[in-house]
Amino acid sequence: MNLPGDCMLAARDGLAQDDVNGGAARPAGLPGLRYTRSTLRGTPQAARLFPHQGHDTYMTTNLETIPVNRNDGSTATLGDYAGKVRLVVNVASKCGLTPQYEGLERLYEDKRDAGLEVLAFPANNFKGQEPGTDAEILDFCTTQYNVTFPLFAKISVLGEDRHPLYTALVQAKPDATGEGPFRERLRGFGVERENPADVLWNFEKFLIGRNGQVVARFSPDVKADDPRLVAAIDAELAR
């Protein structure tokens, strides 16, 4: 099965299983990637994979007070956008999914007056597909895609140095809508996550409602005009 562009082709080249799993062997009893918090609930693996088991949302006082840096280096929090619907996306400039910037900008322009914010967090976790500095990333986004939505400083969304914001997001929503086919395509190129709740690839999307709760999560290949994503956003905007 073909994978979408450079993003997937890079995953194929020189990728060993210990690179994907950080050198760690897959835990016993976890042979595949179909496990979710629901199917693991009450098992020894659940406590490690989902330490906040039972909490389907990460409350406002936690999520919205986590410090992040804007692209210009100034400090911010998601609480700066309190009362709005927020779509948090980990982005990359050298990925086959990078053209999604265009759709995200169009979505932002269409719905920002209704209360939507698209918050982009560049990350270099997936085969080095976001290698630039924050200044270079800003220049790329504005010149190539005319991006006007908020762009933040580069962070890590995976591994031991994962930013606390993404730890909170993943714990709030371990499962992503539409992830099955994309996960299987990645597996064909040797890409698997030891923890099935981890961010799968660039352009994964977390939707946060006006009340600060994570209400949905979408697979990287769910585009900005996907009816499932648009419906979820519209439902939150209507609240």
Catalytic amino acids? Answer: 95
Q: Residue length, the chain?
A: 239
- 148 vs 214: CA distance, rounded Å: 23
**End-to-end Cα distance, the chain:** 41
> Residue 109 in contact with residue 77, Cβ under 8 Å?
no
Burial class, 224, CB count within 10 angstroms (exposed 0-12 / middle 13-18 / buried 19+): buried
Could you count the other beta carbons within 10 Å of the beta carbon of residue 185?
Answer: 18
